Chains A and B, each alone.
Chain A
Amino acid sequence: MSPLLEARGLTTVFETRAGLLPAVRDVSFTVAAGEIVGLVGESGSGKSVTGFSLLGLIDPPGRIAAGSVRLDGEELIGLEQGRLRALRGRSIAMVFQDPSTTLNPLLTIGAQMRLALEAHGGRDASAMRARAIETLSQVGIADPAARLGAYPHQFSGGMRQRVAIAIALLNRPKLIVCDEPTTALDVSIQAQILSEMRDLARNIGTAMIWISHDLAVVSSIASRILVMYAGRVLETGPTRDVLSAPRHPYTQGLLDSLPAHATPGTALRQIPGSTPSLVDIGPGCAFAPRCARASEACASDPAESVAGNRRWRCHHPIAAVA
């Protein structure tokens, strides 16, 4: 069976004063129908740009320079704008990080949901209203019929994000790209929304790409993860395998810096150095300057290694645990 989404060699660049900035470099992955895939990386690793690239939402001076994204067999890169618009929201939707900036503050949430439904052929007012109420209750909004007339500022942060998720769900997309949707929320709300989204995805069969800088968040929701660094996917595999036995030193570094893995009372371990500037990124492994295992070989680009359902790019991978 062919996957729901297949990205091959996706490369997105931004033309800046300082030069061409490759934000996403040669990224390939697949998402199966109903699957939740986690996309982890530090800020600036290109994970959000990857998400926007999938929907064709890269604004100038950025552009998708190369690669292919197939959704249900249909090529999205270079697709005519009208057709792409018709797919957005209906086949592939997106939820953003900060719900206080994504919703239009001047429109009631009912009006905003109606706009999203009308964008995909919604005409009948009462049917649209019924669908809006149905999705609001799916995401756990109490008394949804009454809340349709409320404005975004009348909701708490967590409720606002639920509304944004409901808008993304309205047209029953096959895939939702969730760009750090819980990062701006309180930790307790975050856990609540995470578990609800996991159940929701299972119940309605929607696939998700869950983008986060937080390895703990991703590991709690995704069945498979991709670890991104400096625009590249360094390691991918089933979440449990990658977390229990990472092959790439960067993944190991991320794991070591998790508070749960630290001895109480000792300083948290961190990866030395900081993410490189993408403008003058060299040909070699981008993580090498911060890597304890780096050698001269790391000046050249590591090829992708494959073992079963796991892949990594490293000249000196951590040995597999038998």
Chain B
Amino acid sequence: MPGYALQRLAQAIIVMMVISVMVFAGVHAVGNPIDVLISPDATQAIREQAIRAYGLDQPLWRQYLDFLGRLARGDFGRSFLYNMPVLDLIASRLPATLELTLAAVIGATALGVPLGIYAGYRPSSILSRAIMAASILGFSVPTFWIGLVLIFVFAVNLGWLPAGGRGATVSVLGVEWSFLTLDGLRHLLLPALNLSLFKFAMMVRLARAGTRELMLTDTIKFARAAGESEWTILSRHVLRLIAIPIVTVFGLEFGSTLAFAVVTETIFSWPGVGKLIIDSISSLDRPVMVAYLMLVALLFIVINLLVDLAYAALDPRLRAQHA
């Protein structure tokens, strides 16, 4: 087991190094921030002074080494635009995205998996056909359009829910959370629903495919032959046996939504990291872009590790391999 942990750690470090090179080079290629930061009619002297101040006069490899050096001290640099430490900036926006993402992914899984199991268990029933039709919609209708329709129906026409913003928040451990207040929950509902539709559709299809396949296996037939009830079979056998692909997709969806909930956050004016990264790209705020992309890579490494640990928890055969 310690060997396994070391191996994973070494893999993570190598991945992070490769990502840092790619991110650094990629961000450099996007454009020169000086063009955005300094007014076009500034004098040459001011221009050169600014270039030196940001270290942009150095060759790229030198800038990269400096960046690595600062990184080793836990310093991601300061945002050009907000003039504050990048980590603080991201940390101030992350909770909003985190709660939105969690609400969307957990909601989609909690609803999609049972419905998918039902659709796989009774594939020809009317309800199953309705579930599958809904999942096709969830897959094929674009997120931004559903977001606009949700706002139009529930915020503009019916006036039941707010159209944007986070609403009232409560501070817990120095972090602001919306989901702890009624007003915040009302603000959370529409964007979370918007984000969850695609994931819901995916969970339904995964659970349905897994269940359909399983229902024909000897494992299920044997459980039936022992007189176990259909409920026991679905809740104790099927749910566990289809869990591995679901956990995988849960992890990947959680990561990618946390990193790239941009469209929904923009439509619902949700002050999360998705909006931050879009703003930083348009204003060529390099430190924010670099730090953000590095954090996303780290996030996926952690999620993959957690998913692998979940596999081991779910499947005793995998535990045996690592032991």
Contact = CB atoms under 8 A, between A and B. Distances in A.
A102 B227 CA distance: 14
B222 A164 contact: yes
Contacts of A88: 224-227
Interface in A92-132: 93-94, 96-98, 101-108, 115-116, 118-120
B310 to A, nearest CB: 13
A14 to B, nearest CB: 13
Contacts of A87: 227
B218 A98 contact: yes
Interface residues of B, number: 24
B226 A119 contact: yes
A249 interface: no
A164 B229 CA distance: 18
B316 A116 contact: no
B158 interface: no
Contacts, number: 89
A240 to B, nearest CB: 31
B172 interface: no
Nearest to B240: A106
Contacts of A52: 221
A171 B225 CA distance: 12
B227 A116 contact: yes
A115 B225 contact: no
A101 B219 contact: yes
B232 A103 contact: no
A167 interface: yes
B320 to A, nearest CB: 7
A126 to B, nearest CB: 21
A153 B227 contact: no
A105 B229 contact: no
B217 A153 contact: no
Contacts of A167: 222, 226
B90 interface: no
Interface string A165-190: 00110110000000000000000000
30 contacts: A52-B221, A59-B215, A59-B216, A85-B224, A85-B227, A86-B227, A87-B227, A88-B225, A88-B227, A89-B226, A90-B227, A93-B225, A93-B226, A96-B225, A98-B218, A101-B218, A104-B223, A105-B316, A105-B317, A106-B314, A106-B315, A107-B237, A115-B226, A115-B232, A118-B232, A119-B228, A119-B232, A120-B227, A154-B320, A167-B222
Interface of A: 52, 55, 57, 59, 85-90, 93-94, 96-98, 101-108, 115-116, 118-120, 151, 153-154, 164, 167-168, 170-171
